[in-house]
Amino acid sequence: MQVCKLCRSGTDIKKSHAIADSVFKRIFRVNSGKAIAFSRDEEDVYYSSDSWWDNQLCGECEDRLNEKYERYSLQVLRAQKGVFNRSEHRLIFSDVNLHKLNMFLLSIFWRAANSGHVAYKNVVILDGDNEYLREALLSDRQVPISRISVKIERLIDKTREGGFSLKQLKDIVISPFCRIYGADKTKHISVCFVFEGFFVQVFVPGLKLKQRAAAGVIHKSQRFLSVPYLHLFDIEEVVELMVDGYCKHAEGKSNIKI
Ligand SMILES: [Zn+2]
Protein backbone atom coordinates (compact mmCIF):
# COMPACT_ATOMS: atom_id res chain seq x y z
CA MET A 1 0.00 0.00 0.00
CA GLN A 2 1.27 3.47 -0.89
CA VAL A 3 1.55 6.33 1.58
CA CYS A 4 -0.11 9.72 1.05
CA LYS A 5 2.61 12.33 0.50
CA LEU A 6 0.67 15.00 2.39
CA CYS A 7 -0.74 13.32 5.54
CA ARG A 8 1.54 10.26 5.29
CA SER A 9 -1.19 7.79 6.11
CA GLY A 10 -1.10 4.45 4.39
CA THR A 11 -4.28 4.41 2.42
CA ASP A 12 -5.81 4.27 -0.99
CA ILE A 13 -3.88 6.77 -3.12
CA LYS A 14 -5.68 8.76 -5.81
CA LYS A 15 -4.61 10.32 -9.06
CA SER A 16 -3.17 13.75 -8.19
CA HIS A 17 -2.75 16.65 -10.54
CA ALA A 18 -0.21 19.41 -9.81
CA ILE A 19 -1.61 21.76 -12.46
CA ALA A 20 -5.34 21.26 -11.89
CA ASP A 21 -7.19 18.57 -13.82
CA SER A 22 -9.88 21.13 -14.64
CA VAL A 23 -7.29 23.23 -16.51
CA PHE A 24 -6.54 20.24 -18.74
CA LYS A 25 -10.19 19.23 -19.01
CA ARG A 26 -11.12 22.67 -20.32
CA ILE A 27 -8.38 22.45 -22.95
CA PHE A 28 -9.36 18.91 -23.97
CA ARG A 29 -13.02 19.91 -24.13
CA VAL A 30 -12.42 22.63 -26.71
CA ASN A 31 -10.00 20.46 -28.68
CA SER A 32 -11.98 17.22 -29.11
CA GLY A 33 -10.43 15.52 -26.10
CA LYS A 34 -6.79 16.16 -26.88
CA ALA A 35 -4.13 18.84 -26.93
CA ILE A 36 -1.15 19.45 -29.17
CA ALA A 37 1.95 18.37 -27.29
CA PHE A 38 5.57 19.06 -28.01
CA SER A 39 8.66 19.01 -25.90
CA ARG A 40 12.34 19.66 -26.46
CA ASP A 41 13.02 16.15 -25.19
CA GLU A 42 10.83 14.42 -27.73
CA GLU A 43 11.26 13.86 -31.43
CA ASP A 44 7.73 14.57 -32.59
CA VAL A 45 4.82 16.94 -32.22
CA TYR A 46 1.69 14.92 -31.43
CA TYR A 47 -1.82 14.92 -29.98
CA SER A 48 -2.06 14.07 -26.29
CA SER A 49 -4.72 13.60 -23.63
CA ASP A 50 -2.19 13.30 -20.80
CA SER A 51 -3.08 15.56 -17.86
CA TRP A 52 0.22 14.95 -16.05
CA TRP A 53 -1.19 13.08 -13.04
CA ASP A 54 0.64 10.87 -10.59
CA ASN A 55 -0.48 8.75 -7.63
CA GLN A 56 0.31 11.05 -4.71
CA LEU A 57 -2.45 11.81 -2.21
CA CYS A 58 -5.26 10.09 -0.33
CA GLY A 59 -8.83 11.07 -1.14
CA GLU A 60 -9.12 13.20 1.97
CA CYS A 61 -6.00 15.25 1.13
CA GLU A 62 -7.10 15.60 -2.49
CA ASP A 63 -10.42 17.01 -1.27
CA ARG A 64 -8.66 19.18 1.31
CA LEU A 65 -6.46 20.94 -1.30
CA ASN A 66 -9.27 21.18 -3.84
CA GLU A 67 -11.85 22.56 -1.45
CA LYS A 68 -9.56 24.86 0.54
CA TYR A 69 -7.63 26.38 -2.34
CA GLU A 70 -8.16 25.09 -5.85
CA ARG A 71 -11.84 25.67 -6.52
CA TYR A 72 -11.77 29.22 -5.12
CA SER A 73 -8.49 30.20 -6.80
CA LEU A 74 -9.48 28.96 -10.25
CA GLN A 75 -12.65 31.02 -9.93
CA VAL A 76 -10.52 34.08 -9.09
CA LEU A 77 -8.20 33.47 -12.04
CA ARG A 78 -11.23 32.98 -14.30
CA ALA A 79 -12.75 36.27 -13.04
CA GLN A 80 -15.72 34.49 -11.46
CA LYS A 81 -14.93 35.54 -7.88
CA GLY A 82 -14.04 38.94 -6.40
CA VAL A 83 -13.88 42.10 -8.46
CA PHE A 84 -11.94 42.15 -11.68
CA ASN A 85 -10.70 45.26 -13.51
CA ARG A 86 -8.59 45.59 -16.61
CA SER A 87 -6.32 48.58 -17.28
CA GLU A 88 -3.81 49.33 -20.01
CA HIS A 89 -0.90 47.61 -18.27
CA ARG A 90 -2.44 45.22 -15.79
CA LEU A 91 -5.36 43.36 -14.31
CA ILE A 92 -6.50 44.22 -10.81
CA PHE A 93 -8.17 41.57 -8.67
CA SER A 94 -9.93 43.10 -5.65
CA ASP A 95 -11.81 41.67 -2.73
CA VAL A 96 -10.01 38.34 -3.00
CA ASN A 97 -8.48 36.03 -0.41
CA LEU A 98 -4.80 36.09 -1.38
CA HIS A 99 -3.82 33.55 1.26
CA LYS A 100 -5.95 31.00 -0.59
CA LEU A 101 -4.54 31.98 -3.97
CA ASN A 102 -0.98 31.84 -2.62
CA MET A 103 -1.55 28.41 -1.08
CA PHE A 104 -3.14 27.16 -4.31
CA LEU A 105 -0.06 28.16 -6.32
CA LEU A 106 2.26 26.71 -3.66
CA SER A 107 0.27 23.47 -3.70
CA ILE A 108 0.88 23.22 -7.45
CA PHE A 109 4.59 23.78 -6.87
CA TRP A 110 4.70 21.23 -4.04
CA ARG A 111 2.74 18.56 -5.91
CA ALA A 112 4.86 19.13 -9.04
CA ALA A 113 8.08 18.83 -7.03
CA ASN A 114 6.87 15.51 -5.60
CA SER A 115 5.44 14.14 -8.83
CA GLY A 116 7.01 11.30 -10.74
CA HIS A 117 5.52 12.55 -14.02
CA VAL A 118 8.15 13.48 -16.61
CA ALA A 119 6.43 16.83 -17.30
CA TYR A 120 7.48 17.98 -13.82
CA LYS A 121 11.04 16.69 -13.92
CA ASN A 122 12.52 20.22 -13.80
CA VAL A 123 10.74 21.16 -10.59
CA VAL A 124 13.20 20.93 -7.74
CA ILE A 125 12.77 21.51 -4.02
CA LEU A 126 15.17 21.15 -1.09
CA ASP A 127 14.20 18.59 1.57
CA GLY A 128 13.75 21.29 4.22
CA ASP A 129 11.43 23.36 2.01
CA ASN A 130 9.56 20.23 0.96
CA GLU A 131 8.75 19.30 4.56
CA TYR A 132 7.97 22.91 5.50
CA LEU A 133 5.47 23.20 2.65
CA ARG A 134 3.94 19.81 3.40
CA GLU A 135 3.19 20.89 6.97
CA ALA A 136 1.92 24.31 5.85
CA LEU A 137 -0.47 22.77 3.31
CA LEU A 138 -1.66 20.16 5.77
CA SER A 139 -2.46 22.71 8.49
CA ASP A 140 -3.35 25.70 6.26
CA ARG A 141 -0.49 27.69 7.78
CA GLN A 142 0.68 30.91 6.12
CA VAL A 143 4.02 30.70 4.31
CA PRO A 144 6.07 33.89 4.89
CA ILE A 145 6.98 35.81 1.73
CA SER A 146 10.62 35.81 2.92
CA ARG A 147 10.64 32.01 2.79
CA ILE A 148 8.83 31.48 -0.52
CA SER A 149 7.43 34.26 -2.76
CA VAL A 150 4.93 33.87 -5.56
CA LYS A 151 4.58 36.21 -8.52
CA ILE A 152 1.85 36.06 -11.14
CA GLU A 153 1.58 37.78 -14.53
CA ARG A 154 -1.14 37.72 -17.20
CA LEU A 155 0.04 36.51 -20.60
CA ILE A 156 -0.72 38.57 -23.67
CA ASP A 157 0.50 38.35 -27.24
CA LYS A 158 1.50 41.68 -28.76
CA THR A 159 2.18 40.14 -32.18
CA ARG A 160 0.34 42.37 -34.65
CA GLU A 161 -0.95 39.68 -36.97
CA GLY A 162 -1.56 35.99 -36.43
CA GLY A 163 -0.76 36.02 -32.71
CA PHE A 164 -2.51 34.11 -29.95
CA SER A 165 -5.84 35.46 -28.73
CA LEU A 166 -6.42 35.66 -24.97
CA LYS A 167 -8.62 32.60 -25.28
CA GLN A 168 -5.88 30.66 -27.07
CA LEU A 169 -3.30 31.72 -24.46
CA LYS A 170 -5.48 30.07 -21.82
CA ASP A 171 -5.13 26.80 -23.72
CA ILE A 172 -1.35 26.69 -23.35
CA VAL A 173 0.22 24.61 -20.58
CA ILE A 174 3.99 24.41 -20.45
CA SER A 175 6.09 21.93 -18.56
CA PRO A 176 7.57 23.98 -15.68
CA PHE A 177 11.13 25.21 -15.96
CA CYS A 178 13.63 26.77 -13.56
CA ARG A 179 15.42 30.10 -13.65
CA ILE A 180 18.48 30.93 -11.63
CA TYR A 181 18.94 34.52 -10.46
CA GLY A 182 22.04 36.12 -8.95
CA ALA A 183 25.17 34.33 -7.84
CA ASP A 184 26.68 32.92 -4.66
CA LYS A 185 24.97 34.30 -1.57
CA THR A 186 22.26 36.17 -3.45
CA LYS A 187 21.49 33.15 -5.64
CA HIS A 188 17.91 32.02 -5.73
CA ILE A 189 15.76 30.09 -8.14
CA SER A 190 12.30 30.48 -9.50
CA VAL A 191 10.18 27.63 -10.77
CA CYS A 192 8.07 28.90 -13.66
CA PHE A 193 4.60 27.70 -14.65
CA VAL A 194 2.41 28.61 -17.62
CA PHE A 195 -1.27 27.70 -17.39
CA GLU A 196 -4.73 29.27 -17.64
CA GLY A 197 -3.22 32.33 -19.40
CA PHE A 198 -0.85 33.21 -16.55
CA PHE A 199 2.89 33.06 -15.95
CA VAL A 200 3.56 32.06 -12.34
CA GLN A 201 6.93 32.10 -10.64
CA VAL A 202 7.66 30.53 -7.26
CA PHE A 203 10.85 31.95 -5.72
CA VAL A 204 12.80 29.90 -3.19
CA PRO A 205 14.10 31.42 -0.99
CA GLY A 206 11.68 34.35 -1.08
CA LEU A 207 12.33 37.67 -2.78
CA LYS A 208 14.25 40.45 -1.05
CA LEU A 209 12.34 43.42 0.35
CA LYS A 210 12.90 45.62 -2.71
CA GLN A 211 11.91 42.88 -5.18
CA ARG A 212 8.69 42.19 -3.31
CA ALA A 213 7.36 45.60 -4.29
CA ALA A 214 7.11 44.50 -7.93
CA ALA A 215 3.63 44.19 -9.44
CA GLY A 216 2.34 40.64 -9.42
CA VAL A 217 4.04 39.57 -6.19
CA ILE A 218 1.39 38.18 -3.84
CA HIS A 219 1.12 39.88 -0.44
CA LYS A 220 -1.27 37.72 1.52
CA SER A 221 -2.43 40.41 3.91
CA GLN A 222 -3.80 42.54 1.08
CA ARG A 223 -7.24 42.18 -0.47
CA PHE A 224 -6.17 43.19 -3.97
CA LEU A 225 -3.58 42.01 -6.45
CA SER A 226 -2.11 43.90 -9.36
CA VAL A 227 -1.23 41.44 -12.15
CA PRO A 228 0.95 42.97 -14.88
CA TYR A 229 0.70 41.90 -18.52
CA LEU A 230 3.57 39.87 -19.93
CA HIS A 231 4.12 39.38 -23.65
CA LEU A 232 4.36 35.60 -24.21
CA PHE A 233 7.36 35.98 -26.50
CA ASP A 234 9.26 38.00 -23.90
CA ILE A 235 9.69 34.69 -22.07
CA GLU A 236 12.91 33.38 -23.56
CA GLU A 237 12.23 29.76 -22.57
CA VAL A 238 8.83 29.85 -24.30
CA VAL A 239 10.34 31.26 -27.50
CA GLU A 240 12.91 28.45 -27.57
CA LEU A 241 10.21 25.85 -27.05
CA MET A 242 7.90 27.31 -29.71
CA VAL A 243 10.69 27.60 -32.28
CA ASP A 244 11.72 24.01 -31.59
CA GLY A 245 8.11 22.78 -31.98
CA TYR A 246 7.59 24.81 -35.12
CA CYS A 247 10.79 23.41 -36.70
CA LYS A 248 9.77 19.82 -35.91
CA HIS A 249 6.37 20.43 -37.47
CA ALA A 250 7.95 22.07 -40.55
CA GLU A 251 10.32 19.10 -40.89
CA GLY A 252 7.35 16.71 -40.93
CA LYS A 253 8.02 15.26 -37.45
CA SER A 254 4.39 15.77 -36.61
CA ASN A 255 0.97 14.20 -37.06
CA ILE A 256 -0.84 17.48 -36.30
CA LYS A 257 -3.25 18.67 -38.97
CA ILE A 258 -3.34 22.47 -39.24
ZN1 LIG B 1 -3.56 12.20 2.88
- Give 210's DSSP letter: T
Residue 1 CA to ligand 1 center (angstroms) comes to 13
Q: pLDDT at position 229, please?
A: 97
Q: pLDDT at position 162, please?
A: 84
In this predicted structure, the answer to whether residue 257 has a pLDDT above a threshold of 80 is no
Residue 57 CA to ligand 1 center (angstroms) comes to 5
Q: pLDDT at position 258, please?
A: 63
CB count within 10 Å of CB 253 equals 15
Residue 60 CA to ligand 1 center (angstroms) comes to 6
Query: pLDDT band for position 144 (50/70/90)?
Result: very high
Q: pLDDT at position 183, please?
A: 79
Contact 35, 171 (CB under 8 A): yes
The alpha helices in the chain, defined as continuous H runs, are 21-30, 59-65, 71-77, 98-113, 127-139, 166-169, 236-250
User: pLDDT, tens digit, for every residue of 223-251?
Assistant: 899 999 999 999 999 898 888 878 887 88
Residue 110 CA to ligand 1 center (angstroms) comes to 14
Across residues 152-174, what is the average pLDDT? 90
The bridge status of strand 149-156 relative to strand 198-204 is antiparallel
Residue 4 CA to ligand 1 center (angstroms) comes to 5
Residue 112 CA to ligand 1 center (angstroms) comes to 16
Q: pLDDT at position 142, please?
A: 94
Residue 18 CA to ligand 1 center (angstroms) comes to 15
Residue 132 CA to ligand 1 center (angstroms) comes to 16
In this predicted structure, the answer to whether residue 40 has a pLDDT above a threshold of 80 is no
Residue 185 CA to ligand 1 center (angstroms) comes to 36
- Give 54's DSSP letter: E
Residues less than 5 Å from ion ligand 1, measured at CB? 4, 6-7, 58, 61
Across residues 47-73, what is the average pLDDT? 92
What secondary structure does DSSP assign to 118-182, as a single string? GGGTT----HHHHHHHHHHHHHTPPPPTTT-EEEEEEEE---SSS---HHHHTT--EEEEEEEES
Q: Phi/psi of residue 213, each to 5°?
A: -75, -10
Residue 144 CA to ligand 1 center (angstroms) comes to 24
- Residue 80, Cβ density class (10 Å: 0-12 exposed, 13-18 middle, ≥19 buried): exposed
Q: Phi/psi of residue 22, each to 5°?
A: -65, -25
User: pLDDT, tens digit, for every residue of 176-189?
Assistant: 999 988 877 777 88
User: pLDDT, tens digit, for every residue of 209-226?
Assistant: 999 999 999 999 898 999
Label residues 195-218 b or e (16+ Cβ within 10 Å = b).
bbbbbbbbbbebbeeeebeeebbb
Any idea where the domains of the chain sit in the sequence? 71-250
Contact 140, 104 (CB under 8 A): no
Q: pLDDT at position 160, please?
A: 84
Q: Phi/psi of residue 105, each to 5°?
A: -70, -35
Across residues 104-125, what is the average pLDDT? 95
Q: Which residue has the higher pLDDT, 37 or 26?
A: 26
CA angle, 255 as apex, 251 and 256 as ends, to 5°? 95
Residue 127 CA to ligand 1 center (angstroms) comes to 19
Query: pLDDT band for position 152 (50/70/90)?
Result: very high
Residue 78 CA to ligand 1 center (angstroms) comes to 28
Residue 59 CA to ligand 1 center (angstroms) comes to 7
Residue 212 CA to ligand 1 center (angstroms) comes to 33
